[in-house]
Amino acid sequence: MIQTETTPNPNSIKFLSEKTISTIGTEEFQKSNINSLDNKFIKELLGFRGVELVLLSKNFLSVKKTDDVSWNDLKPMVISHLNHYFENNNEPILKKNEDSDVSIENDETVQKILDVLDTKIRPAVARDGGDIKFKSFDKGVVKVELQGSCSGCPSSIMTLKQGVQNLLKHYVKEVNSVEAI
C-alpha cells in the first residue's frame, strides 16, 4: 500500500511504500536527463506530464512537479505506477550493481562531516521527502547538494543555514560555513 505525505515544498509530495524502493541509498533523477536513463520505471515516471524531478530512497520516493499540473491529477498516476511496478516485480526499483565500487573518503574531518550528515541531518531531511548529499570540504566550507523535495523549496536556504550549518559547526570544529551547489 502506498501512502502520501505533504512536504514543506508545495510542489513536492512524498510517496511511502511498505516495500523497499532502493537498496543503493538515495538517488535523484531529473526530467532534463531522461534520455540518459536506463531504468524503465524512472523513465516512465519522469515522462508523466508535470513531473520535473524524482527522488528514490529506501522506502519512499518524492515527486516534484511543475506549477501547470495539479496533485489531484498527478498523485493517482504516481500511486498507480508504483503499485503496478510492485505487482509485477519482487525487487526494488533501484538495486545494487555487483560491479559498483564505492569510494570512501579517508580525511578525518570529512568522515566527521559525513557522520553528522548521516546521523543527524539526513533523517530529518528525509522526513520532508528530500536528501542532502556531501559534495566537498575545503578551507572550512562544506558544499552540499539538496535533492528531492528540498531542491528549490522556499525554506531550504533557511534549513541549510540555520539547521545544517549550525549542526555541522557544533559537531565539527573545522566547519565555518555550508553552501548549496
Which pLDDT tens digit goes with each residue over 49-89?
999 999 998 889 999 999 999 999 999 999 999 999 999 99
Cα–Cα distance between 19 and 148 in angstroms, integer? 20
pTM: 0.68
Range 2-88: architecture per CATH:
2-Layer Sandwich (3.30)
Is residue 8 predicted with pLDDT exceeding 70?
A: yes
pLDDT in the model for residue 129: 80
What value does the mean pLDDT take over residues 89-97? Answer: 87
Question: pLDDT per residue over 136-170, tens digit each?
Answer: 999 999 999 888 877 777 677 677 777 888 899 99
Q: Whose grid coordinates read 540555520?
A: 162
All three cell numbers of 134: 556531501
Q: Does domain 108-180 match CATH 1.10.3720.10? A: no
Cα–Cα distance between 96 and 146 in angstroms, integer? 23
pLDDT in the model for residue 100: 42
Which residues belong to CATH 3.30.300.130 in the chain? 108-180
Q: In 3D, which of 18, 19, 27, 58 has the Cα closest to residue 45?
A: 27
Burial 135-161 (b: 16+ CB within 10 A, else e): eebeeeebebebbbbbbebeebeebbe
pLDDT in the model for residue 127: 78
Which residues belong to CATH 3.30.1370.70 in the chain? 2-88
Residue 22 contacts residue 92 (beta carbons within 8 Å): yes
Bridge partners, residue 64, by sequence: 12, 53
Q: What amino acid is encoded at 101 in this protein?
A: D
